Amino acid sequence: MTSRLAEIESALGLMKKLYEEKEQLTLQLKELVGTEQEVVVGDMIIKVVDNFAEKNTVFKAAAVKRYDLEVDSLYARQVKADKEAEKAAKKAKK
């Protein structure tokens, strides 16, 4: 049990470092492209989102960073678009 706790503690330390690095890279990307601008990297779409763009207060259960990343894949985006088109076509038939 204690060795598992040590493993978990080590992993949490690594996660903290990764979150800090993600925050730094998010701010760098925001400086390069601004917010709400989609950037395609391989088959992924990345966008910096300003969580406070339209409001001064955001209610969430934890700390909220002002800037965050939205990451999506081109495939997932296409599947979503296909489903929305299918729904629209069904609505148009009614």
61-75 per-position pLDDT tens digit:
776 777 878 888 888
DSSP string, 53-90: SS-S----SS---SEEEEEEEHHHHHHHHHHHHHHHHH
Domains in the chain: boundaries: 2-93
Q: What is the pLDDT of residue 60?
A: 67
- What value does the mean pLDDT of the chain take? 87
| Greater model confidence, 63 or 87 | 87
Could you read off the pLDDT of 43-64 as tens digits, one per residue? Answer: 899 999 998 888 777 676 776 7
Give the C-alpha separation, 16 to 6, whole Å: 15
